[in-house]
């Protein structure tokens, strides 16, 4: 099988490339500048793509190809200026439309297109348990997720299976949120964000990658899937677990008003939460390696 990964040089993309390459599949990482991509896993090569047009890689599509579409400007880097918000949206929607056009042009359609998304789709869910049937929210990230998912929706009418990956906060020792979350604890200044009552939909990197492989291989997997651990925690409880693993105190909250002064609108992504559960993933039979936060954090943190 050939696996094409957009956003393949990012944290999740490289991990998926490593997993699928080690399983003996041919992996092609699509990136704006292949010369800047670091060492790649076995059976993996990089191909140039501008993220706006189908590109030469479209010639690789056939009936034994799967596209994993993860491309998107990082949400957690930099203050959300109007220009940053434009890039966040355009990088996802424009790239999705380009992927769809490549599928349209393919003489033999790919066997599946895994469409990236996020649990931000649901907006601020409060204490409500959010399964995949829950409607979208109406804040900036929710609207972006709705458009992101819609950008490739037509692939289904072309006969292409299309699982949608509504991913939570991916915990990894290689980067992403966890090293930033752990730093204040290491400095004895760790604690929950805001009032700590918002839900934190986390997932261990091994389960993020494992779930993506599972959805690639399951021919009956289609539609939206929450890629989150089955036991979400509030920010306060997650902070207690993090402090326990690091043997550091966890009682110094970051006030909401201070976060808003520092981060602007982006603070809402930290102060709002989603009590998302992976109902459809569990229903299909996926078994989580790290269903509980303590086990996940002990595995990832020294």
More confident residue, 80 or 203: 203
pLDDT (0 to 100) of residue 282: 98
The model carries a pTM of: 0.93
Averaged pLDDT for residues 208-232: 97
Is 74 a member of any domain?
yes
Q: CA nearest 49: which of 82, 12, 112, 96?
A: 96
Is 29 a member of any domain?
yes
Distance CA 183, CA 186 (A): 5
Is 269 a member of any domain?
no
More confident residue, 142 or 263: 142
Query: pLDDT band at 82, cuts 50/70/90?
Result: confident
Is 71 a member of any domain?
yes
Give the CATH number of the domain where residue 90 resides. 3.40.50.720
Is 36 a member of any domain?
yes
User: Do residues 280 and 224 lie in contact, with contact meaning Cβ atoms separated by under 8 Å?
Assistant: yes
Query: pLDDT band at 271, cuts 50/70/90?
Result: low
pLDDT (0 to 100) of residue 185: 72
Is 87 a member of any domain?
yes
Q: CA nearest 16: which of 300, 188, 213, 226?
A: 213
Is 124 a member of any domain?
yes
pLDDT (tens digit, 9 = 90+) per residue, 111-146?
999 999 999 999 998 999 999 999 999 999 999 999
Distance CA 219, CA 44 (A): 24
Is 121 a member of any domain?
yes
Counted domains in the chain: 1
pLDDT (tens digit, 9 = 90+) per residue, 48-80?
999 999 988 888 999 999 999 999 888 777 677
Average pLDDT over the chain, rounded to an integer: 89
Which string of DSSP letters, residue by residue, matches the chain?
A: -EEEEETTTSHHHHHHHHHHHHTT-EEEEEES-GGG--PPPTTEEEEE--SSS--GGGGG--TTEEEEE-----SSSS---HHHHHHHHHHHHHHHHHHHHHHHH-SS--SEEEEEEEGGGG---TT-EE-TTSPP--SHHHHHHHHHHHTTGGGGGGT-B-EEEEE-EEE-SSSBHHHHHHHHHHTT----BTTS-SEE-EEEHHHHHHHHHHHHH-TT--EEEEES-SS-EEHHHHHHHHHHHHT------B-HHHHHHHHGGGHHHHHS--EE--HHHHHHT---S--SHHHHHHHH--
Q: Which domain holds residue 210?
A: 2-169+202-230+276-289
């Amino acid at each position: 099988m050939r696996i094409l990964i957009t956003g393949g040089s990012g944290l999740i993309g490289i991990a998926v490339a490593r997993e699928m390459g080690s399983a003996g599949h041919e992996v092609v990482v699509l990136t704006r500048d292949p010369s800047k991509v670091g060492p790649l896993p076995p059976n993996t090569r990089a191909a140039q793509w501008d993220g706006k047009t189908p590109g030469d890689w479209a010639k690789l599509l056939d009936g034994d190809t799967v596209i994993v579409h993860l491309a998107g400007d990082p949400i957690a880097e930099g203050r959300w200026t109007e220009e940053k918000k434009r890039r966040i949206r355009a990088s996802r929607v424009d790239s999705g439309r380009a992927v769809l056009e490549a599928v349209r042009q393919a003489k033999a359609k790919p066997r599946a297109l895994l469409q990236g998304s996020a649990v931000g789709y649901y907006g601020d869910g409060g204490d409500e348990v959010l399964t995949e049937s829950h409607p979208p929210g109406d804040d900036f990230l929710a609207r972006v997720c709705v458009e992101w998912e819609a950008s490739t929706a037509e692939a289904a009418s072309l006969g292409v299976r299309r699982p949608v990956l509504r991913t939570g906060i991916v915990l990894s020792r290689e980067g992403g949120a966890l090293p930033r979350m752990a730093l204040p604890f290491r400095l004895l200044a760790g604690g929950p964000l805001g009032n700590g009552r918002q839900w934190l939909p986390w997932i261990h990197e091994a389960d993020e990658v494992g779930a993506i492989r599972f959805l690639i291989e399951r021919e009956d997997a289609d539609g939206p899937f929450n890629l989150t651990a089955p036991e979400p925690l509030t920010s306060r409880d997650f902070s207690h677990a993090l402090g326990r693993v690091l043997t550091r105190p966890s009682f110094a909250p970051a006030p909401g008003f201070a976060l808003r002064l520092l981060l602007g609108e982006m603070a809402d992504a930290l102060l709002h939460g989603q009590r998302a559960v992976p109902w459809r993933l569990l229903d299909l039979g996926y078994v989580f390696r790290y269903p509980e936060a303590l086990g996940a954090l002990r595995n990832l943190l020294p």
